[in-house]
Amino acid sequence: MSPLAKLFEAALFAATRPLTLEELATLDPEVGEAETRAALAELREAWGEGSEDHGVELVDIAGGWQFLTRREYAEPIERAQFALRPRHLSPAALETLAIIAYRQPVGRLEVDEIRGVDSQAVLDRLVERGLIEIISRGEGLGRPLLYGTTPQFLEILGLKGLDQLPRLDELSVALRPPAPAQPE
């Protein structure tokens, strides 16, 4: 393996979150983009998903790269209590995440309206967990806070990007164009 690939390998091993190609490139200011890509390709060759040689694999996730244990080992590792799987999200949290993922940037009122319940507490918890963040303020009364998803949201779902979410017209519920708000 090339020295650059080994440097990347070390950084990816040390990091606790996915590192993007741009972040890896900052490790050595001397190298250009082509070398960076070549080094990453080397690593993927050695550690890529589906390579049978190792217990961990290099996974393309949340716009970056991260070493994760292979699926078949989660259970024994957990049984031995060397690590724990993350907590499951509540249905309320997932509903709120789904709405934000598809409508971002979106304010609390719209989330409340779609869910039919007050969502402030759920929003606060999701911000606390780093799964959503305030990305801007809306026009209109009180300039409401608008929320969007974070890379960590993609990370806990194992997604490369938001475009991996299902398209709405693929769902079994027919996609209906959002009707104009009707007077109450």
Partner 1 sequence: MSASPSPLLPTPTHPVLPEQGGFVVELEQFSGPLDLLLHLIREDELDITDLPIAQIADQFLAVISDLGLNQAADYLEMAARLLRIKAQLLLPRRLGDDEWEDPRSELVRRLLEYQQIRELVDWLQRAATRRSEQLARGYTPPAPELPPAPLEIELNDLLAAAERVIALIPEPMLHRVVPRPLDVEGATARIQALLAAREEFGWSDLVGARPSVAEVLSAFISLLELAKRGVLRLAQPDPFAPMVIRRESAREAV
Question: In angstroms, what is the minimal distance from the CB of 107 to partner 1?
Answer: 16
- Nearer to partner 1 by C-beta: 69 or 104? 69
In whole angstroms, give the CA distance from residue 59 to residue 48. Answer: 7
How far, in Å, are 31, 62, 119 from residue 40 at the CA level? 13, 16, 42
Phi and psi at 139, nearest 5°, equal: -75, 175
> Out of 67, 104, 108, 133, which residue is the one contacting partner 1 (CB under 8 A)?
67
> Out of 95, 132, 146, 149, which residue is the one contacting partner 1 (CB under 8 A)?
95
Task: Confirm if 124 and 133 have CB atoms less than 8 A apart.
Answer: no
Q: Which two tokens stand for residue 47?
A: 């550690």
In whole angstroms, give the CA distance from residue 25 to residue 30. Answer: 9
| 177: amino acid identity, one letter | P
Q: Does 98 bind partner 1 (CB under 8 A)?
A: yes
> Out of 4, 5, 19, 59, which residue is the one contacting partner 1 (CB under 8 A)?
59
Q: Does 80 bind partner 1 (CB under 8 A)?
A: no
Q: Segment near partner 1 (CB under 8 A), from 19-27, 33-41, 71-79, 142-150? A: 71-79
At residue 89, the 3 state secondary structure works out as: coil
Phi and psi at 113, nearest 5°, equal: -60, -45
- Nearer to partner 1 by C-beta: 6 or 17? 17
- Nearer to partner 1 by C-beta: 72 or 139? 72
Binding site for partner 1 (CB under 8 A): 13, 15-17, 59, 66-71, 73-74, 77, 83-89, 91-92, 94-95, 97-99, 101-102, 113-118, 155-159, 165-166, 168, 171-176, 178-179, 182
